[in-house]
Chains A and B, each alone.
Chain A
Amino acid sequence: MRPPSPSIPEREFLFTSLKQSLRLDGRQLLEMRHPTITFGTELGWVECSLGKTRVVAAIDAKMVKPPPERPYEGTITIHSEISPMASPEYEPGRTSDEEVTITRMLDKVLRRSDAVDKESLCVLAGQRVWHLRLTVHCLADAGNMLDCACLAGIIALKHFRRPEVEVIGDEVTVHPPTERAPLPLSLHHTPLCLTFAFFPESSSKTATSTSSTKTTTVLDPSLLESQLATGFLHVALNAQRELCVVQKAGGVPLTEDEILPLIKDVAVTRVRELDRIVESRLKEDWEGRKTFVEVR
């Protein structure tokens, strides 16, 4: 059964308020929800929420034999799932469009952008490398699960500590965390993802005119906004102003001058703020843990 789409009064209400630059939850048009980051007892377990959207990410590491074509690099696999409790739309076992988008974006943002230094995961070339497994579970969908999932993923990678390994000749000894302090992963950069949603100015259902209809842009759409948006722009970048992923797949066509300022100005400043928030939360968590276990 296809889930019911938003009713006409809801749609009219949303479009009218957006025309007046009002959002239903009181935010500014380009304002993000403040992320709430909670760490679990285990290193590498993170729960991230943007408003009511919640995503949990956890990292697991084990040593494996590397594939013969890449003997000097570790491997990362990302497993993402949208739990049916996220929303009545998702059923277990059936891959919805949204799930494919999230899986592919996570893959692009965290793996293809080379966030983790894979060569540092090599223990014994050709024989033993670390295999990291990142599991992302989307628990609640109140719009923009994608950004939440990418945020949870990258924070989990920053939070995780792998056991220290000593290599003498061909012998590999793994020291448990109780013996020697575990080491952080070496990350090249911290990619963070932002989603913009677009709505056309004209509320007519058949927008057949190609006249200049100004589009309203909204950052971090809520559930209703994502269901009614006519286009999305996903941008992942790091605090050094490097773009990792840009994805605008179809949706309402925009001019270059509408897209570029969003990327160049808005995204860059938001990512800087987000980066600061993430760093401060990680530091806070470390101060708390230092009393129990020595960490680096």
Chain B
Amino acid sequence: MASRIEILNDGGFRSDGRKQYELRDISIDLSSQSSADGSASVSHGLTQVVVSVFGPREAKMRRETIHDRANINVEVNVAPFSAGERRRRGRGDKRILEFASTIKSTFEPVIQTTLYPRSQIDIYVQILQQDGGVLQACINATTLALASAGIPLLDFVCAVTGGVHSTSPLLDLTTLEENDIPHVTVAVMPRTGKVTLVTMETRLHVDRFEDIFRVACEAGKVIHKEMRAAVKERTGALVAAMGAAPRVAGAGAEAGERDVVMDERIDDY
């Protein structure tokens, strides 16, 4: 199906006005749901995803507990109004099950589950709007939700999509671009630069794949910066709120010192 809209025109601009390697606007909102232990709402351009994390808590089903680790349970729900056409997907839908198991296996080696044996960590993903890069948004939101729940992670997991439009690599694709060009989703752990997730479902030549793979790994680090800034801002707000509580004699100076130590620790990440 030939596209009537140019993916990349001669001036180097894409259909939504971005340049080749430009990412969409990222907006992050942490702890939006007060009932969950941790939550995050992430939007990449028009793609919006909300993730709530509960745990570690007692496992609902005894037989799913593992004696030396926490069990991670991921459930994904796609809102019927999220895509162009209204469509209700059942919970047993294979594509959604695969989505959930992809997210679960991405985070299993990252969450320090050995600290919480016989317990369960529930991750509920709600996809509100789909405009390309849904898996990318889910993974980024899950990382932030886990961080906001205070669950210890080895590192952030930052995901980005990339595609190739006849030899030119593009980053962060919209639905229009995803339908047209071969694309890949890559998730990296920025501290070590290692890759935890690579998925590609469209045909692409091996050499083109190498180009976009390398570019996407670099882009993961850019997303990491945004996520770090959001976490730092939120933690800063929380610390300031704690510091603004009525001071008891002697506690005032300690609160001030705590702020400095907290800032230094955050810079390490």
Contacts and interface: CB of A to CB of B under 8 A. Distances in A.
B63 interface: yes
A243 B203 contact: yes
A114 B202 CA distance: 9
A278 interface: no
A58 B236 CA distance: 61
A223 to B, nearest CB: 19
Interface stretch (A97-105, A142-150, A155-163): A97-105
Contact of A251 (B109, B114, B192): B109
Contacts of A112: 201-202
Contacts of B37: none
Interface in A89-117: 95, 97, 100-101, 103-104, 107-108, 112-114
A244 B196 contact: no
Contacts of A263: 206, 209
- Specify the main secondary structure of chain B where it touches its partner: mixed
A242 B184 contact: no
Given A104-B94, A242-B204, A263-B209, A250 B104 contact: yes
B195 A255 contact: yes
Nearest to B182: A243
A249 interface: yes
Contacts of B199: 246-249
Interface in B72-122: 92, 94-95, 97-98, 101-102, 104-109, 112, 114
Contact of A264 (B201, B204, B206): B206
B197 A248 contact: yes
A157 to B, nearest CB: 16
A40 interface: no
Contacts of B200: 243, 245-247
- Interface size bucket, B side? 35 or more
A243 B204 contact: yes
B63 A2 contact: yes
A241 interface: yes
A100 B194 contact: no
B94 A250 contact: no
Interface stretch (B166-174, B210-218, B260-268): B210-218
Contacts of A101: 98, 101
Nearest to A267: B206
Given A241-B205, A247-B199, A264 B194 contact: no
B94 A248 contact: no
A194 interface: no
B125 to A, nearest CB: 15
B203 A244 contact: yes
Contacts of A206: 114
A97 B101 contact: yes
A237 interface: yes
Contacts of B95: 104
Contacts of B196: 248, 250-251, 253
B209 A210 contact: no
A268 B205 CA distance: 11
Contact of B154 (A114, A210, A230): A210
Given A230-B109, A242-B204, A259-B195, A249 B189 contact: no
A208 interface: yes
Contact of B197 (A205, A208, A249): A249
Contact of A210 (B184, B192, B207, B213): B192
A258 to B, nearest CB: 9
B93 to A, nearest CB: 10
B94 A100 contact: yes
A83 B207 CA distance: 39
B57 interface: no
B178 interface: no
Contact of A256 (B101, B204, B217): B217
Nearest to A188: B203
A64 interface: no
B205 A242 contact: yes
Contacts of B104: 250
A264 B193 CA distance: 20
Residue among A107, A246, A252 with the highest chain B CB neighbour number at 10 A? A246
Contacts of B105: 249-251
A260 interface: yes
B109 A252 contact: yes
Nearest to A115: B203
A254 interface: yes
Contact of A249 (B102, B204, B213): B102
Interface of B: 63, 68, 92, 94-95, 97-98, 101-102, 104-109, 112, 114, 154-155, 184, 189, 191-207, 209-210, 213-214, 217
Given A95-B92, A210-B192, 6 more contacts: A208-B154, A241-B205, A243-B203, A253-B189, A253-B195, A254-B194
**Top 7 nearest A-B pairs by Cβ distance?**
A250-B105, A253-B194, A250-B106, A246-B200, A248-B198, A249-B102, A104-B98
11 contacts: A101-B98, A112-B202, A206-B114, A210-B191, A230-B109, A244-B202, A246-B200, A247-B200, A255-B194, A256-B193, A259-B195
